[in-house]
A = this chain, B = another copy of it.
Amino acid sequence: MTEILERPAAGASSAPDRANAWLSAFEEALTARDVDRAAAMFAAQSWWRDLVSFSWNITTVEHPEGVRDLLTATLERTAPSGFATSEPPTEDGGVVTAWFTFETAVGRGTGLLRLKEEDGADRAWTFLTTLDELKGFEEPKRTRRPRGAEHGADKGRATWKERRQAEAESLGSTTQPYVLVIGGGQGGIGLGARLRQLGVPSLVIDKHPRPGDQWRNRYKSLCLHDPVWYDHLPYLKFPDNWPVFSPKDKIGDWLESYVKVMEVPYWSSTEASSATWSDETGEWTVEVEREGRPLTLRPTHLVFATGMSGKPRMPDVAGLDVFRGDVHHSSRHPGPDAYRGKRAVVIGSNNSAFDICGALWENDVDVTMVQRSSTHIVKSGSLMEYGLGDLYSERALDAGVTTEKADLIFASLPYRILHEFQIPAYEKMAEVDKDFYDRLDKAGFWLDWGDDGSGLFMKYLRRGSGYYIDVGAADLVANGDVRLVHGQVDHLTEDAVVLADGTVLPADVVVFATGYNSMNGWVADLIDQETADRLGKCWGLGSDTTKDPGPWEGEQRNMWKPTQVSNLWMHGGNLHQSRHYSQFLGLQLKARFEGLETPVYRLQEVNHTG
């Protein structure tokens, strides 16, 4: 009876009334520790995604059963309270959307609720809960920012510069980082900034001489494929004059400046050669070489931020040693300048392959692209308009969708049904760009839209490959300026690539734009294969589509959350993911640093080793 009486009635009520009623009733059920009542407030098909606030994990539970399981495990300890809408809820197409804030025993959070009427009552369809900050460990920003000048007069106090210098001198010698982040690209840097803000002693190391070199050293025509609104780092946004697609050297300069102004502890020209965990000391022993000088670091946590793409995948092709021209993986391609007037063969037909083919053609190189399997292509403008525009654009900003809100909206869409939201956008792109696709098709290019037509972002989340965001090079293939052939590479001769069908492609330079292996390859290299296997495959959802084998994992494998290897974390992704998930990885590490209890709900299992 109680359950029925307290279940909010849908119908004529306003969106705010409906959302407030649901949140109040939900809080009552939680306060009463009535797991069944709370679970019954979710729709038969529903998803609760929690980012650290209840689960100390990144996890999605499904349907009332999943909610019951999550709450049974976490409710008592989490002690949630204070659920309140943070802006007026809205209703669209029968779905009420409500932003809310809440508290737990140890933190404060933000959430996003979508309600639907089902069986005469409003029930949660999607429910997102995220942890914003830990009580007592709030970040020093806005009203809590440091004063800078300490007022008063104190004998012998040190200046900011003196304190910074002392810190730099002691780090790695008399003091140890609690967290060592390996890899100082946008992922490592953004996480480094979060940890700095959170007061977690950390160090980011990177092999390049300067922050940003990770971008500067790529092929010279490279620009970001994602637009600026999607690419902000934590805390410090690009100014309004920043290019839509940042040129690689410009983003390199930004990252370098960011490290400095955010005071990220960062060692350039530093490479780790081995890492060993000791159960006894509860520490890693990491051997590094800093500017040529060997050094041992003893962090408690180790974060791999070495690139979600993992290690370059270089096929084992016969004849690599006899080929007399240049041959390299796309990650090492220097750009077209040295090849003017020569013949290039590019193996592969995804982003890097197209970028490289385009730049080579622009510099009067004779270019052949070897397509080995089908590729998904979307025009950059269409992707911005139909794929990202509602969340990441000037239009979105004008509508009040800040980067922070966009990140949460995106995070609130359950992976399990995300493809359903994606398919219509790609159907629209296929329609508006029909001529473009017809031309590619006529040129013999093998096109696809993902196994289920859900397009680029799902391919990215599932396998991290298989697409090209067209910024112009597709037309070169369509009109024959870049020669297209199909097949698998059999071997190289002194001056040509030979395909399995016997086709001979004369070449002065061969570029293998053949992608990357799983991130845990880095772990095998630095630690050992056993640990890499125990960690398991990284990235992907278990969608049982090409290159993303099932079973369903619920979240991206091993990313930003506890793994089967104690005190080892994987961080990365595009700029959006690095920005957003560094918040949650940062808070998980902060909680451990402060000695808070962090019982992990449903630690992920390993279904694939690599």
Interface residues of A (CB under 8 A from B): 139-143, 145-157, 159-162, 164, 197, 220-221, 223-224, 228, 235-236, 239-247, 249-250, 253-254, 257, 260-262, 358, 361-364, 380-381, 394, 471-473, 475-476, 481
Given known A161-B249, A363-B156, A476-B153, contact A147–B243 (CB-CB < 8 A): yes
Residue numbers in B under 8 Å from A148 (CB-CB): 223-224, 228, 243-247, 250
Partner of A154, one of B239, B242, B362: B362
Contact of A159 among B154, B220, B380 (CB under 8 A): B220
> Quick check: A247 and B161 within 8 Å, CB to CB?
yes
Q: Which single residue of chain B is at the shortest CB-CB distance from A363?
A: B156
A-B contact pairs, 9 of them (CB 8 A): A139-B241, A140-B241, A145-B244, A147-B243, A147-B245, A153-B481, A154-B362, A197-B241, A239-B261
A1 to chain B, nearest CB (A): 45
List B contacts of A242 (CB < 8 A): 145
Please give, as numbers and ranges, the residues of chain B lying within 8 Å of A239 by CB-CB distance. 141, 235-236, 261-262
A155–B364 contact, CB under 8 A?
yes
| Chain B residues, Cβ within 8 Å of A221 | 159
Q: Within the assembled complex, what's the spacing in Å between the Cα atoms of A246 and B146?
A: 9
User: A475 contacts which of B153, B160, B243 (Cβ < 8 Å)?
Assistant: B153
Chain B nearest CB: distance from A395 CB in Å?
A: 9
Contact partners of A145 in chain B: CB under 8 A: 228, 240-244
Residue of B nearest to A471 (CB): B151
Residue from the list B146, B156, B243, B481 in contact with A244, Cβ < 8 A: B146
Extra pairs beyond A141-B239, A148-B246 (18, CB < 8 Å): A142-B240, A143-B394, A145-B240, A145-B241, A145-B244, A148-B228, A149-B471, A151-B471, A153-B473, A155-B361, A159-B220, A159-B249, A160-B250, A161-B220, A161-B250, A239-B261, A239-B262, A254-B261
Q: How far is the CA of A520 from the CA of B28 in the complex (A)?
A: 72
A575 to B303, CA, bound (A): 40
For residue A155, which residue of chain B has the nearest CB? Answer: B362
Q: Do B362 and A223 touch (CB < 8 A)? A: no
A-B pairs with the 5 shortest C-beta distances? A148-B243, A149-B223, A160-B247, A257-B257, A149-B245
Q: How far is the CA of A250 from the CA of B139 in the complex (A)?
A: 19
Quick one: which of B143, B154, B160, B472 contacts A151, CB cutoff 8 A? B472
- Across the interface, name the chain B residue whose C-beta is closest to A154: B362
* Contact residues in B for A154 (Cβ distance below 8 Å): 362
Q: Give the residues in chain B near A363, CB-CB below 8 Å.
A: 155-156
Complex Cα–Cα for A171 and B170 (A) = 44
Q: Give the residues in chain B near A151, CB-CB below 8 Å.
A: 380-381, 471-472
Task: Evaluate contact between A362 and B153: CB separation under 8 angstroms.
Answer: yes
CA distance A115 to B438 in the complex (A): 63
B-side contacts of A228, CB under 8 Å: 145, 148
Give, as a whole number of angstroms, the nearest-CB distance from A595 to chain B.
Answer: 24
Q: How far is the CB of A384 from chain B (nearest CB, A)?
A: 11
Q: How far is the CA of A380 from the CA of B148 in the complex (A)?
A: 13
Q: A153-B481, A260-B257, A362-B153 are in contact. Are A147 and B244 (CB under 8 A)?
A: yes
Instruction: Give the distance in Å from the alpha carbon of A243 to the alpha carbon of B236 in the complex.
Output: 14
Let me know if A362 and B240 touch, CB within 8 A. no
Complex-state Cα separation, A159 to B380, whole angstroms: 19
Of B143, B146, B243, the residue contacting A146 (CB under 8 A) is: B243
The answer to whether A240 touches B471, judged by C-beta atoms less than 8 angstroms apart, is no
Contacts of A146 in B (CB 8 A): 241, 243-244
Instruction: Choose from B223, B260, B358 the contact partner of A253 (Cβ within 8 Å).
Output: B260
**Which B residues lie within 8 Å of A150 (CB)?**
472
By beta carbon, the residue of chain B nearest A476 is B153
In-complex Cβ contact of A156 among B247, B250, B362, B475 (8 A): B362
Closest to A355 in B: B149
What are the residues of chain B within 8 A of A246 when measuring CB–CB? 148
Min C-beta distance of A440 to chain B, whole Å: 15
In whole Å, how far is A575's beta carbon from the nearest beta carbon of chain B?
14
A236 to B197, CA, bound (A): 20
The reply to whether A157 and B362 contact each other, CB–CB distance below 8 Å, is: yes
CB-nearest residue of chain B relative to A358? B153
B residues in contact with A139, CB < 8 Å:
241
Chain B positions within 8 Å of A141 at CB level = 239-241
In the complex, the chain B residue whose C-beta lies closest to that of A160 is B247
Report the nearest B residue to A395, measured CB to CB. B143
* B residues near A473, Cβ cutoff 8 Å: 153
Given known A141-B241, A244-B147, contact A472–B153 (CB-CB < 8 A): yes
A261 to B364 Cα, complex, angstroms? 32
> Which of chain B's residues have a CB closer than 8 A to the CB of A243?
145-149, 160
A157 CA to B361 CA, complexed, in Å: 11
